[in-house]
Structure 1
Amino acid sequence: MAMQVGRRFALVVVFLMAVRFGEAAQLRPNFYQSSCANVETIVRQAVAKKVSQTFVTIPATLRLFFHDCFVEGCDASVMIFSRKADAEKDAPDNMSLAGDGFDTVIKAKQAVEAQCPGVVSCADILAIAARDVVVLSGGPNFAVELGRRDGLISKASRVAGRLPGPEFNLNLLSSLFRINNLTTYDMITLSGAHSVGFSHCSRFAKRLYSFSSSSQVDPSLNLAYARLLMRACPRNVDATIAVNMDPFTPTIFDNVYYRNLVNGEGLFTSDQVLHTNLLSRPIVRKFAANQTIFFKAFAESMVKLGRVGVKTGKQGEIRRDCTAFN
């Protein structure tokens, strides 16, 4: 009996993996070739215009893509607006998502709808926009796989525990990424998105003022960097104050993020642990020493991220408005 149950469980796991792989396999870069051939040009123009208005567009859009894919899969469920404030975007872990990311996708969708009504999903537009902000800030270009459909579920209650936190250790980070069919190598690579990110002081204040009973300041922090952060984020600082994840080249997508980790200048515990942990340290140092290798890895991991939990074929829908179900 136990063996039969074990076989059934194994078959279910294999089936679910096959379904997941099958959905991702339906994605392809030329998905809209006959229905909206200029979709990427349209989105790129909308994104570039938004970036010219505010740089926040870049980290905001990239972070929006990550948060969307890790909850319900890459299906634009994070875009839904609820008058009851109970949609995915209303969850505590998503409250810090900058409005410029949402606005970028909304404006790009409007531009696409003007030329190809009812054809391109918001999920695909978000995926294209995430690639475009990387390129526009100096990062690698890569082909975006398309063919996603928009999800029909967006609930705040389903967010908790699905997104990485600033205090996560390597095991927690790796486990969360593994659930999404992403490796530890992917996790270390995708953390490079913090090259152009920013954070509110409250997200890392514990590292500066109350790390442990034996040390007020996190000993893994470079002391000069810790003092810099204390000046920017004094105790009881205004909740709206934020600092750059990379203090040296905050507007350029590059490998300086990894050089910072080598020097003890990672903003979050979940950043610095990538170098303090001996298992991940060699990858961090490899990326810190060679930007070309990092760029290649980042492009590949972004494509993998874009396959997480996708809806294709007859699943989901093509929203007319990214903020509302049809």
Structure 2
Amino acid sequence: MFSTSTATISFFFFLLISLAAIHAGDNGPSYSKLRHGYYSTTCPDAEITVKNVIRKNMIIDPRSAASVMRFQFHDCFVNGCDASMLLDDTPNMLGEKESLSNGGSLRSYEVIDEAKANLEQICPGVVSCADIIIMAARDAVLFSGGPDWAVKLGRKDSLTASQKDSDDIMPTPRANATYLLNLFQKFNLSAKDLVALSGSHSIGKARCFSIVFRLYNQSGSGLPDPAMNPEYRKKLDKLCPMPDGNLSVTVDLDSTPELFDNQYFKDLVNGKGSLNSDQTLFTLPETRKYVERFSRGEKEFYEAFVKGMIRLGDLQSGRSGEIRRNCRVVNQLVLGRRTEGVSRKTSLT
């Protein structure tokens, strides 16, 4: 019989954990500890590369700023920030792109594709698509005149996506503030976080499809929202007439749609919110106080928005992940396509 010291047991336990981590590789858990400067040694130009792509695309299409910023919301709420929303459908999987809140609404996927392609040129297989979404959202806000902040990185990309999960979780523009407050609380996000992050609608546009509910059938009453500013209603009536209007026509989300500022909150105070999910923030007591505070203080809004984006970015699924080489497909499919291409070429020779 032999004895084993506590130190020896500890050493072998540490060795076992270390080997497990090594063998996990890119398919290990996606809930690795996030930190600032994650790519400082493995891909030091990662953040500037993403910044350059966002800046270039905003010059070409100013609306792309709001589009790529929205990706963080639509990705992180559905099973954590893992770029699941970027996956295309496959014969065996319905992804999130055509879910109720995403289909016909999300755009500018090609901006993320471009950032990923550029990163694959300089440091292949290093930077995750999930981290690109987080960086792109920050840069879109910054280049729209909003605040800057340091992002924590180190996420993995999911191996799957779920249209059902997106349908079950993501709210529609018809949602009211009470529904949104309950949703945010499920993710340990406060009423202040809800109002501050709703300030993302400081930039961008919405389709008439998302507005006519408030304009013509508030709460199923067949009547417009009584809180709507009369002059603003006349403006929307012209842009989104019913029943013969074009529901794809876009409407500014606030009075300064290309500038990230606190005008969004001033508009809500004056009954000029475009979406039901926006304007009801001013009618619910728990959220109204923050709308009023942010309408008076842009600096306070910026500080709360940054904190909210960081908290949102901390949401992780805990599922296995990888660093995708192409944000639209998992690596196994990319490898399969390459192998198939080689086989076809071989069969022709």
With the shorter chain as reference, the TM-score category is 0.7 to 0.9
Hey, what does 1:91 align to over in structure 2? 99
**Residues 130 and 310 (structure 1 numbering): CA distance in 2 closer, same or farther, change over 3 Å?**
farther
CA shift digits 1:233-291 (9 cap, x unpaired): 11131232111111x21110000000001001111121111111222111111100010
Q: Which amino acid aligns with 1:119?
A: V
Hey, what does 2:247 align to over in structure 1? 239
Q: Answer yes or no: is the 8 Å Cα contact 2:98–2:104 preserved in 1.
A: no
- What does 1:1-326 align with in structure 2 at a 5 Å threshold? 26-84=33-91, 86-100=94-108, 102-211=109-218, 216-235=223-242, 236-246=244-254, 248-311=255-318, 315-326=320-331
Q: Answer yes or no: is the 8 Å Cα contact 2:101–2:171 preserved in 1.
A: no
Q: Answer yes or no: is the 8 Å Cα contact 1:137–1:253 preserved in 2.
A: yes
**1:49, 1:128 → 2: CA distance?**
15
Q: What is the SS of the residue equivalent to 2:251?
A: strand
1:219, CA displacement in angstroms?
0.2
Q: Answer yes or no: is the 8 Å Cα contact 1:43–1:128 preserved in 2.
A: yes
Q: What is the SS of the residue equivalent to 2:41?
A: coil
**1:276, 1:239 → 2: CA distance?**
27
Aligned residues, how many?
Answer: 301
Q: Which structure: larger Rg? A: 2
1:213, CA displacement in angstroms?
7.8
**2:178, 2:213 → 1: CA distance?**
20
1:215, CA displacement in angstroms?
6.6
**1:212, 1:185 → 2: CA distance?**
25
1:143, CA displacement in angstroms?
0.5
Greater mean alpha carbon deviation, residues 303-312 or residues 291-300: 303-312
**Residues 303 and 212 (structure 1 numbering): CA distance in 2 closer, same or farther, change over 3 Å?**
closer
**2:221, 2:87 → 1: CA distance?**
45
Q: Answer yes or no: is the 8 Å Cα contact 1:64–1:97 preserved in 2.
A: no
**2:308, 2:110 → 1: CA distance?**
25
Hey, what does 1:15 align to over in structure 2? none
Q: What is the SS of the residue equivalent to 2:218?
A: coil
Q: What is the SS of the residue equivalent to 2:209?
A: helix
CA shift digits 1:159-190 (9 cap, x unpaired): 11211222222221111112222112111110
**1:310, 1:42 → 2: CA distance?**
27
Q: What is the SS of the residue equivalent to 2:157?
A: coil
Q: How well do the aligned residues superpose, as a CA RMSD in angstroms?
A: 1.9
Q: What is the SS of the residue equivalent to 2:322?
A: coil
Q: What is the SS of the residue equivalent to 2:286?
A: coil
Q: What is the SS of the residue equivalent to 1:40?
A: helix
Q: TM-score, normalised by structure 1?
A: 0.88
Q: Which amino acid aligns with 1:316?
A: G
1:224, CA displacement in angstroms?
0.6
1:115, CA displacement in angstroms?
0.5
**1:170, 1:276 → 2: CA distance?**
8
**2:117, 2:228 → 1: CA distance?**
45
**2:275, 2:96 → 1: CA distance?**
24
Greater mean alpha carbon deviation, residues 119-128 or residues 212-221: 212-221
**Residues 23 and 305 (structure 1 numbering): CA distance in 2 closer, same or farther, change over 3 Å?**
same
**1:308, 1:239 → 2: CA distance?**
34
**1:129, 1:309 → 2: CA distance?**
18
**1:171, 1:250 → 2: CA distance?**
26
Q: What is the SS of the residue equivalent to 2:277?
A: helix
